[in-house]
Structure 1
Amino acid sequence: MMTCIVIDDEPLARSLLAQHIADVPFLEHRGSFKNALLAADFLSKNQVDVLFLDIQMPKLTGIDFLKSLQHPPKVIFTTAYREYAVESYELQAHDYLLKPITFERFFTAVSRLQVATPKVIETPIPETATTPEHIFVHVNKKHIKVILEDVTYIESIKDYLKIHTTKETLVIKERISHFIEQLPNPPFIRVHRSYIVNRDHITAFTQQDIEIGDIEIPIGGTYKEEVLNILKAP
């Protein structure tokens, strides 16, 4: 069960999303808010798993509201405007739904979110627990095994990813914001809206870029502070 709230200044949009949420068994609707300020007050006293967040709202936009949250929940943007899609994915939003939002498109988004959301484990994790050693990716109707320690970096090109390994390069249809959820951190770090790197393969870095052998990968402004802190850590 995932708890969620809706933030949208349009009453009809709030009503439609509330109905979509009610129709999904694993979602629990905790409230709807006509602006981000009311939602901020609610979130200061309550925790939720998912925000369904409009972008164009009075006083405070959805994007500015998300940037103001120190530990934001998962976010699915709901908007009538296509032009904010790139910025939304830079903020690691899980999806971007264009209004009017059909139930089919809504269900696809929340189903992906359910897969990406870790299950709560109530028993202590053994000290011997290890990170996954491999994943499977879908390439040309096959599920290909990828050994994670062999992955050097991952490059996003529109709706596709190029997974560069020490042995080959694989191309898959996937969004970088969804794919990074499958990777252990460390050693995988998102350093740019279009790049994930394996820290174990980094040969050098500066304030602006990372080197993996002869490959130079830029460090994005949004990620710079966190990335440099990780790389400088002993």
Structure 2
Amino acid sequence: MEQVTIDVYKFEELGTEAKDKAVSYYRENWMDHNWWDSTYEDFITILNLLGFTPSTTTRHTTKGKSYEEPNIFFSGFWSQGDGASFEGYFTISETLKAVEQLKTHVGEDAVLHGIAESIQVTSQACLEALGAGWPEALGSCVIRITRPGSPRYSHEMTMDVDMEPVFDEIAYQLGDDYDKFDKHAIVNTYGEAMLSHARSLARWLYKALESDYEAQTSEEAIGDSYAANEVRFLEDGSIFSR
């Protein structure tokens, strides 16, 4: 029987080229988990505070269990068409509280504060433009954010807004007088503005995901992960299999 002695190294003991190889291996093979979960959770909280609720899709596991997956999408971070988007719904009444609710959660994020203020101002202006009697009737209407046509890309421009519930409520309230309703432009302008705000939120999400990915795949973070898992390497940066 012949014994062979092999020198193995900790990540921090590797040379530059060997470290680069170990880092690349980690990024290609150890990032296949849902590393974005915490960013999604924070984004869902932010959406809720702003008056939005992401829709979900029921998924089934191989063990016969089911769970609800939020309809949030992204691809990244280096190709044309990369970005983030989401599907869901909101009500005017909930968006009227956007600023107050958000500030208690996100602190000094100027971008989110600006989006929240724009959402609140847009909703208030719409109700005021419609005139007396409409805020209560329309405030609880569910307005859907959609991604029509099952787009192949994930960026924010795949999102659209469905204003039909608002017009349905107006028709219900006015009955035979609906033909006299002359404020379609106000409602449509509101929908377009809210879609713009939703797309701004999707852009914020994409940048948050990109930042999170870069943090998790930095050389320092990867080195910490290797150390925590007591991984050892050959001199060239290949992982040593015990």
Q: Which TM class, normalised by the smaller chain length?
A: under 0.3
| TM-score relative to the length of structure 1 | 0.22
Greater relative CO (CA pairs within 8 A, separation 6+):
2
Q: Larger % of strand: which? A: 1
Greater C-alpha Rg: 2
So what's the TM-score if we normalise by structure 2? 0.22
Q: Which has the higher helix share?
A: 2
